[in-house]
């Protein structure tokens, strides 16, 4: 068997992200992937047996990478408010820098393409956030609401502002980032 070329694998995954971010998961076609990567269909299917396998492998790789970056530098024993601020800033920075990848992840999360293992990667990505929110509740700093509702206020607001910024409808500056972090805090604080 011919060794797998990691550069081709990366090119296939990168092009998959690009196509899904631009056109959506439902419109994603392997033929378009072949055209974008200049790789034959046989080569692509030699690396990924199906569209579903490609989507799941790309999703898992991105979730692992993003999870590490978003929680980077957060001291598990630190002060809650500092942890919260760091998490928000990491998320904002990461989403801005890797916007297409985040769009790909969102398309996948709303689809039936993800297998059980990919769904586990997705759930694991929220474990640290849930632990952080639980810590805030225990310290009487965070509202005693379901973590899903709290996360929606943090992530949803950031996503909207970043999307508007990248579309050119809103200017994201250090001042507005500070305001966004403060508004996220205001939404969840007890």
User: Considering the chain, what percentage of its residues have pLDDT values greater than 70?
Assistant: 98
Structural domain includes residue 161: yes
Domain assignment present for residue 22? The answer is: no
Is the pLDDT at 174 greater than 70? The verdict is: yes
Write the pLDDT tens digit of every residue in 78-127: 999 999 999 999 999 999 999 999 999 999 998 888 999 999 988 888 89
**What average pLDDT score do residues 168-188 get?**
93
> Residue 3's pLDDT band (boundaries 50, 70, 90)?
low
pLDDT band at 165 (very low <50, low <70, confident <90, very high): very high
Tell me, yes or no, whether 101 lies in a domain.
yes
pLDDT averaged over the chain?
A: 91
The residue range of the domain holding 75 is: 55-188
For residue 19, being part of any structural domain is answered with no
For 139, the token pair is: 């310290």
C-alpha span between 47 and 135 (Å, rounded): 43
Confidence of residue 55 (pLDDT cuts 50, 70, 90): very high
Answer for the pair 78, 137: CB distance below 8 angstroms, yes or no.
no
Query: Residue 1: pLDDT above 80?
Result: no
- pLDDT, residue 2, reads 57
Indicate if the alpha-carbon torsion angle 64, 70, 72, 78 is positive or negative. Answer: negative
Q: How many domains are contained in the chain?
A: 1
Q: Is position 44 within any domain?
A: no
First-residue to last-residue Cα distance in the chain: 59
| The model's pTM | 0.86
The distance from CA 50 to its chain's CA centroid, rounded to whole angstroms, is 23
CATH number reported for the structural domain that contains residue 140 in this entry: 1.10.357.10
């Amino acid at each position: 068997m011919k060794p797998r070329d990691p550069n081709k694998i990366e090119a296939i995954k990168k092009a998959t992200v690009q196509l899904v971010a631009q056109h959506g998961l439902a419109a994603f076609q392997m033929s378009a992937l072949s055209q974008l990567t200049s790789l034959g269909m046989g080569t692509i299917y030699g690396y990924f047996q199906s569209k579903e396998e490609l989507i799941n492998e790309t999703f898992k790789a991105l979730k692992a990478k993003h999870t590490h970056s978003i929680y980077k530098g957060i001291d598990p024993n630190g002060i809650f408010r500092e942890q919260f601020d760091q998490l928000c800033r990491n998320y904002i920075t990461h989403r801005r820098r890797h916007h297409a990848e985040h769009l790909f992840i969102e398309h996948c999360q709303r689809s039936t393409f993800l297998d059980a293992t990919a769904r586990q990667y997705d759930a694991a990505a929220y474990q640290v956030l849930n632990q952080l929110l639980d810590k805030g509740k225990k310290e009487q700093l965070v509202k005693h609401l379901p973590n899903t509702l709290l996360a929606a206020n943090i992530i949803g607001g950031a996503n909207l502002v970043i999307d508007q910024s990248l579309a050119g409808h809103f200017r994201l500056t250090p001042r507005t980032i500070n305001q966004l972090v403060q508004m996220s805090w205001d939404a969840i604080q007890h």
